[in-house]
Amino acid sequence: MLHAWPYVILIDSTYKTNRYGWPWVEIIGVTPVKKNFNIACAIIKQETKETYEWLLRCIKGLLGDTVSNVIVTDKEGGMLASVCVVFPLPHTVHLLCLWHVNNCVKKRFEQLLGGIAKREVAQAVWKKYFDKAAWSWAQEGFLQKINELERVWTEKNIDMVDYMRGEW
């Protein structure tokens, strides 16, 4: 299936539920009709650049001469550093997983904002603006929605705006 649909590859390394507590890395492909298929999985000892480079080179070996257009991952440091080495631009674009971004932002809300009512209101505002930005079809629309989000947030939650600018 990888040779039929090599265009989008998802890599998730967040599972540490085995008896050793080591990361479980799953590599998944996506078809044009939004169906997923397993490409590979691995249990790795460390989430380092070298380990991920090795893993990505194994995937590249499976692809042969075929180029994957998009690789989607979380923001884990070793993964970020290795994707651009093994799958360089302009052939492959590296994107961050929206699910992981939202989870990180939600955790940050819990740290920065007080009571639950304030946090829930803040999350609703975040979702309204960020979802529109994330699903924009063009960079102009994305930037417009992010600017709107910053305007709304700057008045009351400058710490959150600083976090967003610095982290994402």
| pTM (whole model) above 0.85 | no
Residue 50 has pLDDT above 90, yes or no: yes
* Pair 28, 36: CB distance under 8 Å: yes
Cα–Cα distance measured from residue 80 to residue 135, given in angstroms and rounded to the nearest whole number:
22
Condensed to tens digits (0 to 9), the pLDDT of residues 141-163 reads 888 888 887 887 776 677 777 77
Per-residue pLDDT averaged across 118-146, rounded?
Answer: 79
The structure tokens listed for 166 are 């610095």
Residue 6 has pLDDT above 80, yes or no: yes
Higher pLDDT among residues 70 and 133, named by residue? 70
Per-residue pLDDT averaged across 17-37, rounded?
Answer: 90
Cα–Cα distance measured from residue 84 to residue 80, given in angstroms and rounded to the nearest whole number:
7
User: What are the chain's domains?
Assistant: 8-96 (3.30.420.10), 98-167 (no CATH)
What pLDDT score was predicted for residue 114?
Answer: 66
Higher pLDDT among residues 71 and 162, named by residue? 71
The string of DSSP codes covering the chain is -TTT--SEEEEEEEE--STT-PPEEEEEEE-TTS-EEEEEEEE-S---HHHHHHHHHHHHHHHTT---SEEEE---HHHHHHHHHHS-TTT-EEEE-HHHHHHHHHHHHHHH--SHHHHHHHHHHHHHHHHHHHT-SSHHHHHHHHHHHHHHHHTT-HHHHHHHHHH-
Condensed to tens digits (0 to 9), the pLDDT of residues 104-124 reads 877 777 777 666 666 677 777
Cα–Cα distance measured from residue 27 to residue 35, given in angstroms and rounded to the nearest whole number:
14
Q: How confident is the model at residue 8 (pLDDT cuts 50, 70, 90)?
A: very high
% of the chain exceeding 70 in pLDDT: 94
The mean pLDDT value of the chain amounts to 85
Q: How confident is the model at residue 92 (pLDDT cuts 50, 70, 90)?
A: very high
Residue 37 has pLDDT above 90, yes or no: yes
Task: Please state the separation of Cα 106 from the chain's center in Å.
Answer: 14
